[in-house]
Structure 1
Amino acid sequence: MKLKAIVITAIVAMVGTSCNKSFLDINTNPNQLPTASPSTVFTNALFTTATNIAGTSGGQGSSEIGYYWSGQWSQGNGYIISTTQFAYQYTDGDFNYWDPYYDNLEDYQYVINNADANNQKYLKGPSKVMKAMLFQQLVDMYGNLPYTDALKATAALAPKFDDQKAIYESLITLLDEAIVDLKANAFASAFTGSDIVFNGNITRWVQFANSLKMRILIRQSKITGRDAYIKPEINKIVTEGSGFITGIDVGVGGPSFFLATAGKLNPVYDRWGYDANGAKRALNNFPRPTQFLVNSLKAAGDTLRLKRLAYANGGENASTPGVSTQKEVMANYSGTPIGASSGYLPANTTSLGPSLIVKGEYNRPYILMTASEVQFLLAEAKQRFSDVTLAGTPKAYFEEGILQSFRVLGANTAGAAAFKGSKIQNYDWDASTDKLAAIAIQKWISLANLNGLEAWAEYRRTNLPVIPQSAQVPEANKRPLRFFYPNTEGGSNSANVKAQGTIDVFATKLFWDVD
C-alpha cells in the first residue's frame, strides 16, 4: 500500500539461513524494476509475517493486543499502566498494524507476480495462502479496506475500499486458486529451503489452505441465513480431499532458520524472553497471565496446561531453564487482574510459561495456526451444521481439540483424556449443557499464548468466556470492537477513508459480530 524503495543488500534464505526485514525489504518501487529472486522474497516475507504478528524486541505485534483484549494477558505492575491498552484510550495514531501488514502483502504479491517469469511457480500457491491469511486478519481488525485495488503500486495510489463480507468471500476464492496452483506445481528440490513453513511439502500447504477456509467460514457462522453459503463451502473442502492440518502446527522458522544472533531469534523469544546472549529482556515482566485465566484453569483441575502456560510466581529459574523458581504447586500460581495497576509485582505473580519461553530455546518455530484450533473449528462446523459431509462427530473433534492443545503446549496428553467422563462443564462433552459454549471456551484456552489475535476475534464473535472488565474502565460493557483506520491511511487516502463513515470503536461492529 505504501510505496517503498527496494532495499536489497543480502540474499539469504534459500539454504534456510535467517534474514532481517530491515535489510531485506522487497517492495515494488514504481520507478525501478525489482531484481530479487521470488524465493528470497518469499522466505523473508514469511519471517516478516511472524514478526508483524508476534512483535520484536522493539515493538508490539498484532497478536499481543489480542491477548490483552481477550482476557488472557494483563500488564505487570512494574510498569506504568498502559491506558491505550487497558483504559481503551486509543486513537487513529495507535495500533497501526495496517501499514506493516500491507507492506508484507506487497512482498507476497511480488512473488505471485514474478514466480512464473523466474521459473518458481511453486511459490505462487503458498504466497496466495499467506495473502489470504493476512487479509482476513486485516478485516478482523479494521472491517472494510482496500482489496481489489490494493497492491497495485502506481495503478491505484488511492485504492477504493471493499466491503468486508465481499472480501471474506474473495478470500475463499483466493484459497481455491492457491490449492489449484499448489497441486500443479511441486517445489523444486533445490528450493524447498526457501519454504520455512513446510519445507516444500505441498500437501501440508493445501491442508493449511483448507484450514484457513474453515476459519473464514466459521467466523461467519452466527450470521442469520449465512448457512446457505457456509455449508456448501465446507462440503467443497471435504470433496477436495486433502483434509486439514492434523497433529502438527503451522509454524514459521525453527531450528534450521532462527539463530542465536541479534535480529534472527524467534520473535516471541526476542520480545518477551532473552536476547541473543541469553540476557533476560526487560519486557519479560510486562505480560502477565490474567487472574481469570489462571483461576479458571485451577477451578477445572486443568493444572497440566496451566504449568505450561505460566511459570509459578517469580518466573523461570535462571539456572534451570524451563522450570519455575518457586515450587510448581497451585498455591504458587497467581494471575494478575486485567488492568490492575498495583499490588501484582513479578515476584508474586505468574509470568509467560515454558510453552512460550524457555531460556536457550531461541529457535522454536513461530506458530501461525495450531492443530487444536482446527479441531475446534471442525467441532463447531459439525455441531452447527449437522448435515455437512465432515466425517467426524462434534464430540470427537472437541476431544481431539483438547488433546492437541495439550500436545502443542508440551503437556502430557494423558491429561486430556482424563477429562472424558469427568463431569466438568465445558471439558467433558457429554456433561456440557451448551455444546457450542464448550467449544468456544476450549478454543479460547487453546489459543492462550499462541494466537492472541484469533482469541480476540473469537471473543468478539462468541462473547465467551465471560471475562472481567479491565480495572481501568468503569463501564462494564465497554469493549473495543475494532481499531480506527490509521492516520497514515487517512492522510494518503483520505476520501476513501472518510467514505467509510464515522468509526466508533465501541459500537461499529464487524459484519460477523452479530451479538
Structure 2
Amino acid sequence: MKLKSLFILAFVLLVGSACNQSYLDINTNPNVLPTASPSFVFTNALNTSARNIAGNTDGAGSNEIGFYWAGQWTQGNGYIINTAQFGYQFTNGDFNYWDTYYDNLEDYQYVINNADASSQKYLKGPAKVMKAMLYQQLVDMYGSVPYTEALKGGAILAPKFDDQKTVYESLITLLDEAIVDLKANVFSSAFTGSDIIFNGNVTKWAQFANSLKMRLLIRQSKIAGREAYIKTEINKIVTEGSGFITGAEVGVGGPSFYLATAGKLNPVYDRWGYDANGAKRALNNYPRLTKFLIDGLKAANDTLRLKRIAYANGGENASTPGVSTLKEVAANYSGTPFGVSSGFLPANTTSLGPSLLVKGEYNRTYILMTASEVQFLLAEAKQRYADISLAGTAKSYFEEGIVQSFRVLGANVAGAAAFKGSTINNYDWDASTDKLAAIAIQKWIALTNFSGLEAWAEYRRTNLPVTPQSVQVPDAKRPVRFFYPNTESGSNAANVAAQGTIDAFSTRLFWDVD
C-alpha cells in the first residue's frame, strides 16, 4: 500500500523550506518527512477519489468499465475494438484499480490518524465515510480484500485478506463511528473550504453515511438468512435520525474548484469532452450509448431522459453547446449494439449527452452518488421488508426515484408524472407486474452516465435488465468480478494465493447469489 499522495505533499513542504537556514540545523533529521496538514491531505484525497472513479487523460476509471458491463455504454467504431472490455479477454494485468484505490485509502487513513493531534477532529467523520465508500467499491470489484491489517504503512507490508462479507459488516460499523464523529465535531469555519463535497456541512455527511449504509444493506438482500440483520440495521438508521441525501447529489469539486487549466478540469470533461482550450478530445468518439438502452427509452416514450442521456446522431453542435447537431427527435437517436466493431460511426450513432458533457462546462461537480439511487434503495427496502420503520411506501419511493432521475439529468421533472397511470410496465408502479424488477430497471436507467460501477454491481445482483450479450463473444459467460492484480500477487503472494483459484467468470461475490 502506497503513501504517494502524502509523499508528494511532504516534498512540496520540504522544497518550500529549502531556503530556510533552519533546515541546515544539525539537530534536524533530514530523513524524517515533514508533517502534512490533514486538511490538505483530505482535499487532495477527495479530488483523487473523483479521478480514480471517473478516470482522466491518464486512463479509465472504475466507473467506465461498469458502464460497459452493465450494458449502458459500448465502444464507438472509430477505434479498434477493445477485446479486454468487449471480448472479455483479460488477465490479472488488466483492470488494476486496486493500487490507486489503496493509495487513496492511505490518504484517508492519514487524516483519521492525525486529525486529533492537528486539532482537526471534524475531518475524521468525513474521512471515515469516504474510506467506507472506497472499500465497498473494492469489495464489489475484487471480493475479499485486506482490511484489518491494511493501511498500516511499513508496519505490515503483506496484510491478510478479510472475508468480503465481514468487510461489509465492518463498513456498517465504520459508518456508525463516522456519524458519531460528525455529530461531535462541527467544522471550524476556517477549514470548511477543505471539504470540496459538502463545504463542512456535517448533517449532509451523516446523510451520505446513511445512504451508503442502505447501499451496503440492500446489496445483501438476496442472501438467505440476512433479513433480520438488514431490517435491524435499517431501523437503526431511522432511529439515528439524520436521514438520507435527498433532492441533491453527493459530488466532488464544482465551479469553485475545477478550473479551465490543464489537469484541473472536471475529470469527465477532461477524459471524454474537451481540453482546457475547448478542443474536442479524441475519446469523445469512444463511448457510445447501447442500442438496448436507446431502444428501451424510445419504446417507453421516455424521450425527455433520452435527450439528456445522449446527443442525437452526430453529437453536440460545435456552435451551440448542449444542443445536438441534428434535430432532437427520437428518430435521430441510434444506439450501438454492444461490442460491435464496424458500421457504427460518430455520424450515425448517439454519444454521451448533455447530462454529462457540454462544451465549456469544465467545472461541473463530479457526482459520486445520486439522490435518485437512494430513493430506489428505499423503495426496494420497503418492498422487501414492509414492517421496517421507513415512513414512506415502496410506491412513493419508486415514483420519487424517477422524479430525482429526471432532475439530475436536467430533464423537466413534470415528465416523470406522465408515467403514473400510463400502464407502462416498469414505469407505472401500479401496472408493473414485478415490483422488484421495476425498481431494478428504473435504478439501472437512473445510474446511466453517473455511477457505472454501481450499475454493474446491481446488474450482477439482480440480473436485470436482461441485456444482450457482446457481439464479440455471443456464447460466452460474462465477467462477475476482476482478478486480483499482478501487482498484489507480486508483493503479497501468500495472501493472494490463500484466496484460492479465482475465475473471473464463475467466482461470484458473496452477494451475487444467482
Q: TM-score, normalised by structure 1?
A: 0.95
Tell me the residue number matched to 2:248.
Answer: 248
Aligned to 2:367, the other structure's residue is in SS state strand
**Residues 62-73 of structure 1 correspond to what in structure 2 (within 5 A)?**
62-73=62-73
Tell me the residue number matched to 1:136.
Answer: 136
Tell me the residue number matched to 2:275.
Answer: 275
**Aligned-partner residue type, residue 412 of structure 2:** N
Q: Is the 8 Å Cα contact of residues 3 and 107 (structure 2) preserved in structure 1? A: no
Deviations 1:85-125 (A, max 9, x none): 00000000000000000000000000000100110000000
Q: Is the 8 Å Cα contact of residues 249 and 369 (structure 1) preserved in structure 2? A: yes
Aligned to 2:234, the other structure's residue is in SS state helix
User: 1:206 deviation in Å?
Assistant: 0.2
Tell me the residue number matched to 1:6.
Answer: 7
Deviations 1:484-510 (A, max 9, x none): 000000000000000000000000000
Q: Distance in 1 between matches of 2:385 and 2:303?
A: 33
Q: Is the 8 Å Cα contact of residues 251 and 368 (structure 1) preserved in structure 2? A: yes
Q: Sequence identity of aligned pairs in percent?
A: 82
Tell me the residue number matched to 2:484.
Answer: 485
Deviations 1:210-233 (A, max 9, x none): 000000000000001100110000
Q: Distance in 1 between matches of 2:153 and 2:110?
A: 11
Tell me the residue number matched to 2:258.
Answer: 258
**Aligned-partner residue type, residue 513 of structure 1:** D
Q: Distance in 1 between matches of 2:419 and 2:34?
A: 56
Q: Distance in 2 between matches of 1:93 and 1:290?
A: 27
Q: Which runs of 5+ in 1 are unaligned?
A: 12-30
Q: Distance in 1 between matches of 2:32 and 2:332?
A: 59
User: 1:34 deviation in Å?
Assistant: 4.5
Q: Distance in 2 between matches of 1:108 and 1:132?
A: 10
Deviations 1:240-266 (A, max 9, x none): 001000001000000000000001000
Aligned to 1:145, the other structure's residue is in SS state coil
Aligned to 2:411, the other structure's residue is in SS state coil
Aligned to 1:251, the other structure's residue is in SS state strand
**Residues 332-351 of structure 1 correspond to what in structure 2 (within 5 A)?**
332-351=332-351
Tell me the residue number matched to 1:297.
Answer: 297
User: 1:10 deviation in Å?
Assistant: 5.1
User: 1:3 deviation in Å?
Assistant: 5.1
Q: Distance in 1 between matches of 2:496 and 2:472?
A: 30
**Residues 151-230 of structure 1 correspond to what in structure 2 (within 5 A)?**
151-230=151-230
Q: Which runs of 5+ in 2 are unaligned?
A: 14-30
Q: Distance in 1 between matches of 2:49 and 2:405?
A: 23
Tell me the residue number matched to 2:19.
Answer: none
Deviations 1:180-226 (A, max 9, x none): 00000000001000000000001000000000000000000000110
Deviations 1:313-366 (A, max 9, x none): 000000000000001011100000000000100000000000000000000000
Q: Distance in 2 between matches of 1:217 and 1:294?
A: 31
User: 1:154 deviation in Å?
Assistant: 1.5
Aligned pair 1:447/2:447, yes or no? Answer: yes
Tell me the residue number matched to 2:25.
Answer: none
Deviations 1:294-318 (A, max 9, x none): 0000000000000000000000000
Tell me the residue number matched to 1:111.
Answer: 111
Q: Distance in 1 between matches of 2:390 and 2:216?
A: 17
Q: Distance in 1 between matches of 2:459 and 2:8?
A: 39
Q: Distance in 2 between matches of 1:474 and 1:134?
A: 33
Q: Which one has the largest radius of gyration?
A: 2
Aligned pair 1:471/2:475, yes or no? Answer: no
**Aligned-partner residue type, residue 464 of structure 2:** L
Q: Is the 8 Å Cα contact of residues 336 and 349 (structure 1) preserved in structure 2? A: yes
Tell me the residue number matched to 2:389.
Answer: 389
Aligned to 2:363, the other structure's residue is in SS state coil
**Aligned-partner residue type, residue 86 of structure 1:** F
Q: Distance in 2 between matches of 1:7 and 1:385?
A: 48
Q: Cα gap change, 1:317/1:410 in structure 2, threshold over 3 Å: closer, same or farther?
A: same
Tell me the residue number matched to 1:121.
Answer: 121
User: 1:269 deviation in Å?
Assistant: 0.3
Aligned to 1:367, the other structure's residue is in SS state strand
Q: Distance in 2 between matches of 1:37 and 1:309?
A: 40
Q: TM-score, normalised by structure 2?
A: 0.95
**Residues 416-427 of structure 1 correspond to what in structure 2 (within 5 A)?**
416-427=416-427
Aligned to 1:280, the other structure's residue is in SS state coil
**Residues 330-409 of structure 1 correspond to what in structure 2 (within 5 A)?**
330-409=330-409
Q: Is the 8 Å Cα contact of residues 6 and 34 (structure 1) preserved in structure 2? A: no
Aligned to 1:7, the other structure's residue is in SS state helix
Q: Distance in 2 between matches of 1:371 and 1:52?
A: 22
Tell me the residue number matched to 2:20.
Answer: none
Q: Distance in 2 between matches of 1:72 and 1:474?
A: 17
Q: Cα gap change, 1:202/1:407 in structure 2, threshold over 3 Å: closer, same or farther?
A: same
**Aligned-partner residue type, residue 508 of structure 1:** T
User: 1:138 deviation in Å?
Assistant: 0.0
**Residues 31-70 of structure 1 correspond to what in structure 2 (within 5 A)?**
32-70=32-70
Deviations 1:136-162 (A, max 9, x none): 000000001100000001211100000
Q: Distance in 2 between matches of 1:7 and 1:256?
A: 23
User: 1:32 deviation in Å?
Assistant: 3.5
Q: Is the 8 Å Cα contact of residues 207 and 244 (structure 2) preserved in structure 1? A: yes
Q: Is the 8 Å Cα contact of residues 309 and 354 (structure 2) preserved in structure 1? A: yes
**Aligned-partner residue type, residue 494 of structure 1:** A
User: 1:475 deviation in Å?
Assistant: 1.3
